[in-house]
Each structure stands twice: as C-alpha cells, then as structure tokens.
Structure 1
Amino acid sequence: MIASADLVARIRRATGDTQEGLARRLAVSFPTINAWERGRSEPSAKHRSALEALAAELDIVHEFAVMVIDDDPVTAALVEAAATEFGGAVSVHSAVNGWEGLVTCGAVKPRLLFLDIMMPGIDGLDVARRLPAIPDLADLRVVFVTASQSPDILARAAALGNAVISKPVELDTLAEVIRNTMEPSRR
C-alpha cells in the first residue's frame, strides 16, 4: 500500500490540483491535505478510501515491490536507479545472499525478483526452487541475472525462472523488465 503522503502527492500530480484544490475535491480543509502530504497525520478510514478510489480512477499504480538477491551490490544499485523512472511507484528491497533473500521475499511479497545465480552458500537456482514454499508468491516473476556463460546453468535458470539477463546489466533493460512486469498490476 502506498503511504498516505505519497498517495496525496501522486494524486495532486495526476490531477494538477493544488493542496487547496484537492481539499475541495475531498471536502476537507487545506491544513488537513497539507498535514497528510507532509506525513504529519493520517487520513481517517473514510478519507483513505476516498483517496484510494480517486487513485484507482486516475490509474495511479500502487507501490510495486521489487526484490534483488545478489552478492554484488552493484546490481541492487542499478535496479534502484532503474526504479526511479517510475516516480516512487516501485520499492526495491535487496539481500546479499540466498537465505536472507528468501526471508525478505517472505516478508515483502515482491512481484519481481532479480536473482543472481552464482552466490556463496545457497545459489540462485536453489533459491528459485525454494520460492514456491513461500505463501503469496504465486505471481512472482523471477529474472535471473548472471555472468555465467555455461549452457547447463543457463538452461537450468531458464527452466526455473521467467527470463535470464547477462551481466553486466543495462539500466534500460532493468527498467523495461520492471515496466513489463508492472503493466498487469495497474489499477
């Protein structure tokens, strides 16, 4: 769920409303909108529902969680940079090893996972085999990111995931994968 402050800001950008204009639209006071947008207070359940309805009407994408499991922090930094294209609609979570990644996937419930194959401890192929045991990940898209050129490893990755990207990864490629995965989740 998008934080209220971010949701108000996105609605104002989408409508072109000032804080005063959005206040009139929602039948609340200007200071109320100001407080919501600055994170000083939260809307009541009724007003949050009104914000959610307006966001759905405006086709505002709710926060889309992306996970990166890679022992190389450069990959996570590139995914975060690619995510900035989506103006806060994408949250990026990362883990530096397979065990930490599995735990974080269980907590975050990402829709997209960029998964390194060659990592110390539990490798990406083993992580992918364990993902189905985590509840609420049925819609998870797994994209392997690897420097491996081994036909055997690449074939196993292709069988376990949705795609394989070779390292070094390109920023545009990552943004395209995020965009293509987000499309079905648009409201």
Structure 2
Amino acid sequence: MAFRHELQAKYPDWGNAPVRSFGNLDAGLLIVGLAPGMKGANRTGRPFTGDYAGDLLYSTLLKFGFAQGTYRADPNDGLHLVGCRIANAVRCLPPENKPLPIEFTACRPFLQAELAMMPNLKVILALGKGAHDQILRALTVRPAGSYPFIHSRLHALPTGLHLADSYHCSRYNTNTGRLTTEMFHDVFEKIRHVLK
C-alpha cells in the first residue's frame, strides 16, 4: 500500500490502482498473469498494456482471433477481446514485481469471484508458474502437485476446466530464448483445439 502511495505521488497521471480484468465474463478463455507491471498495467490501468509482455500477448491474441482492432499500448486504442478475458493473480503492482504470500492471499478472492462469474469458461491460461499456482489454489484443486507447471502442458482439471501453462511473455523470457514467439503460439494452438 505504501509503495502504491509513493508511486501516486511520483506519477500522479498514472493509474497506480488495482487493475481490473479486461474482456467479457462470457468468455471461454481466461488468461491469468502474475501482477501488473509498473510501466504497463499499473500505468495504463489495463492488463498487459504498455509493456513488452503486452506486445507479444496482444499480437498473439489478434493472430488467433481472441482480439479485434489494433493494439497501441493504450487502453483507449479501441482493441477489444473476443471470447477471452485477462486477469492477474495479484491486482496491484507489488514492490520489485515480486508478490508476497500475503498479497496472493488478499487477492485470491478476486480471482475466485472472477472464475465463478464466467459461465462459459473452458480454459485458463497461466502465464508463469506463479499464476499457475494461484489458479490451482483459487480452484482448490488438490493435490496441486498432480498438475505441475510445464510450458505448453494442458491439464484436464477435476473441475472440468483445462489449465494451459506458458512461460510468461516477459521481455526477460523472450530475450533469453526461454520463450519464443513460436513456443507461445503453440500454446494458443492447443487452446484453440480445446475451445472448438
């Protein structure tokens, strides 16, 4: 909280507030990231908007028909999602981009409410292990160890939902080659197949 107030004073024209989810509740796909990025969603108020991760994510959503319009890293760019919604496990920017257990616990009810309000949900895409773990906790899936985080793995959960895993589309992962555009697209190919 103190960190957010510090940023509000330093950057008064930024959002610096809890970031709401983006997309319709009737979507079949929910994408869950870890937390808002400082110069991305924390600044713009829209998930994955204004940072490198958003460039890769939104271009991929456009390619696979989960978005329409033009992504310009601006929440007023007119881009809208199709059959897809985007949320974060933690709704506020954490210091050093590393959420603490207390932040996950405090924000879990928001993720649980999100899941409960999506009647057509079939697939949840976890961007990174942190999001993967929080999704399993939000769904109270046990034993969680039966569903390990593995890039491009698609888990059939006992809830009837599918959990898809991807390395986070951060600049760090793409610059180091841990995640390539082709690897990211492969995950969406699998998701598309489940949603048919």
Same fold (TM over 0.5): no
Normalising by structure 1, we get a TM-score of 0.40
Normalising by structure 2, we get a TM-score of 0.39
Name which one, 1 or 2, has greater alpha-carbon Rg: 1
- Comparing both structures, which one devotes a greater share of its residues to helix? 1
